[in-house]
Each structure stands twice: as structure tokens, then as C-alpha cells.
A and B are shown apart, each in its own frame.
Chain A
């Protein structure tokens, strides 16, 4: 194994992956597997399915690595987006993922607490920003957004979980997302 993969930038690992370089691919998987499996699990709430989804995510990323554009998204966000889509595809096919309130309550709790300090620093900064924005929302909006994004819930499931009318669920999600967009724009202006 060559020595520099540990410190290689995320983008460098994607480039290595695109070139089919085995050590880069291994380093890439190890660096991102916790994030990918985390989102796959939060959407599917099924470890076996989440592992299948996660493997599929890395294969999709491998195929798409040559077209990754660092100007559009960080590697972490790019990969998490692939993961969320793949996990949602998997649960929508099944159509029977129960909206277990216990697992989802834990997800809401875990999503707005401080990120794991052992995360790679750049990832932690991205996570901290996302957490900070979620915390800036009204609590009921933050809950709805977490459920709809990381929880992979539909608006109908959010309505059911929160015991609110469908229209209210949609409004909370939409208003929350719009507020997040404003906060993202503000961050960009400050930099």
C-alpha cells in the first residue's frame, strides 16, 4: 500500500478511483463508508438492506468518478446524494418501510448534535455547517426536514409521524428547506 492515501484529499481519491487505482479505491471506501452506510441506514432502517445499498453506492460512484465535478459539490455531499437516492429507490420499491418513530426520533436527535470529532476535518466542517443550519430552524421545521431528507420520509409519512395534516407537513418541509437555502446563501456571502 502506498503511504499517502491517508492524507490524500477527497478529490485526489476520486481521481484515483476513476483511474481504477486499487489503493485509492480502498482508501476512498474506508474514508466514506461510515457516512454512506449512515445515510443508507437512516433511510432504510434495515442493516442488511443498508449494506446492499452502500455497496451499490460505491459502485455507482466508481462508474461516475470520471465525471465528478468539484465545483458543483464536495465529494462528501456528492456521495451522500448518491447514497440517499439509492436508499430511497430501495425503500420505495419495497413500499413497506415502516415509519418507526423510535429510530426516527433517534435520527432527529443525532442529526442536530455536534459531529463526531474523529471525522476527517473537512468532513466535520461540512457536517458542522449542516448541523448549525438545522439548529437555526424552528424545531418543528428542523424535525420535518430531518425526516424528509436523512430519514427518506415522504410528506405523507412526516404527516403521520408528527400527527399533523399532510398540508402542514408539506409546509413545514418546504419552509424549512427554503430557510436552509437562505442560510446557505448567507454563508456564501460571508466568505
Chain B
């Protein structure tokens, strides 16, 4: 059965969820053993998946969120931490870390490389609600630290679709202007952009190169490095 490669039509039907059994299983089996067809199928499927964010948003009825939490067994005060029955662990629990100082809503600023400069949150402090262990940080950001050791924000590597990005959140910049620069292991640097950080803080998302490690440096207008984060 599996030496016959499915037609484009058959792959399209499969991606549209329109192949009844037993055909569905046969096709799926073929794809798991034939890289060439798998590649053809993935091309169709990727286009579908990356189109879905255009779908209109519609809010469900009020109380939906609570119903979901109840179904997860997380609704009562006694059930604040509950791992899914088949969850395969995952996630990084780091030691309690210093939370970035951030006083109000993050502000998106204009400009930037490839036009991707947006305001987002960069880290989450997950206070443990169990009685036992101390607060844990679900670590998604490396603190941006000044020479004096003050944490003034975070830097994080993330992905926007397939694009690797670095997310820099600076807390209180006192309205000063900083250049954001990446230092690669070989000593090379590349400037990602320059921004004024308002009192309220701000966050930037910028395309990041592929490198094993890199250091984010925020440089003030006198050329001095204000803060760094090693990723």
C-alpha cells in the first residue's frame, strides 16, 4: 500500500480533514514513513496553520474561563496547582529570581529592525501558592543588570513564528535614550536600534541572529554601557 505515493489532491483532502477511515490512517501511515510526501504535506499544512491567526476573534459566554479551570480541576482554593494527567513535565523552574522593576504598562515605541518593535511582557513571576516550597520563577527572562548590580529589566530569546527574536524589556529608563546592541561570542557587535525609554518602561522585540550565546547591551548617549544581560 505504502509504496504508492498519494496525489496532491489526496494530501489536500487530508489537510482539510476530509479523508474518511480507513484512508485517513493509511495516508497518515504513509506520511510517517515517506519523507518526500511528508514534506509535500507539511508545505500544505504550514500554509493552513499560518493563515489561522487571521480568523476573527469571538468571545465565548461569560464564565467560560472558570468552566475550563473547573474541567482542569483547578477551580477550588484547594486545587491551585494541578498537572495535566498526561503532561510530560517541561517548563523551567528556576530559583527565586529578582523580578524586574516595572511600574506601569509597557509602551510600544516606533522604529526598529524589520519593523518589529512591539510592547509585550517579558517575564512572569509565578508565586507558588502551595504551602511548601518557596516562590518559584518560571524563568523567561535574563535580568538586565547595571554595573551596580541593579536589575533594570529583562532580555529573553523567543520566537515570533519562525523568526528568532530577542525581547528586551527595560523598566525605568527616566526618559533617556539608549542604543541596544548585541555582542556575539566572537566579539562582534551589532546595533539593533536606539530608543528613548520612558519612565514607564518599554519593551522591544527585534530579530536575533543564531548564536550559541550573546550579550545584550544597552548603551547610553555618552557611550557608556548602562546595563547588560547575557543570554
Contact = CB atoms under 8 A, between A and B. Distances in A.
A145 B53 CA distance: 13
Given A9-B124, A55-B67, A121 B52 contact: no
Given A12-B138, A130-B51, A174-B12, A191 B163 contact: yes
30 contacts: A4-B124, A7-B120, A8-B121, A8-B123, A8-B138, A9-B121, A15-B138, A18-B89, A20-B82, A22-B74, A23-B129, A29-B69, A37-B57, A37-B60, A47-B61, A77-B53, A84-B48, A84-B52, A92-B17, A115-B54, A116-B57, A122-B118, A122-B120, A123-B53, A130-B52, A149-B51, A152-B17, A155-B16, A155-B18, A188-B163
A119 to B, nearest CB: 7
A63 B84 contact: yes
A13 B17 contact: no
Contacts of B57: 34-35, 37-38, 116, 119
A65 B129 contact: no
A180 to B, nearest CB: 4
Contacts of A26: 65, 69, 74
A81 B17 CA distance: 12
Determine chain A's interface SS by DSSP, over half rule. Answer: helix
Interface stretch (B26-34, B39-47, B182-190, B223-231): B39-47
A180 B49 CA distance: 11
Contacts of B60: 33-34, 37, 50-51, 54
Given A16-B124, A121-B120, A122-B160, A41 B140 contact: no
B51 to A, nearest CB: 5
B71 interface: yes
Contact of A81 (B52, B88, B127): B52
B127 to A, nearest CB: 4
Contact of A68 (B90, B122, B124, B129): B90
Contacts, number: 283
A148 interface: yes
Interface string B141-167: 000000000000000101111110001
Contacts of B81: 19-22
Interface stretch (B91-99, B173-181, B192-200, B212-220): B91-99
A63 B72 CA distance: 10
Determine chain B's interface SS by DSSP, over half rule. Answer: loop
Interface string B60-76: 11001101110110100
A81 B74 CA distance: 25
Interface of A: 2-9, 11-16, 18-26, 29-30, 33-35, 37-39, 41-42, 47, 50-51, 54-55, 58-59, 62-68, 70-71, 73-74, 76-77, 80-81, 84-85, 88-89, 92, 107, 110-112, 115-116, 119-123, 125-127, 129-131, 133-134, 145-146, 148-150, 152-156, 170, 173-174, 177-178, 180-181, 184, 188, 190-191
A41 B116 CA distance: 31
A54 B57 CA distance: 13
Contacts of A30: 65
B120 A33 contact: no
Given A29-B69, A59-B84, 6 more contacts: A2-B125, A18-B84, A19-B91, A34-B59, A47-B61, A150-B52
A170 to B, nearest CB: 6
Contact of A12 (B140, B159, B162): B140
Given A9-B121, A15-B138, A66-B90, A111 B82 contact: no
Given A4-B123, A20-B83, A23-B126, A77 B52 contact: yes
A58 B122 CA distance: 23
Contact of A4 (B12, B108, B121, B162): B121
Contacts of B110: none
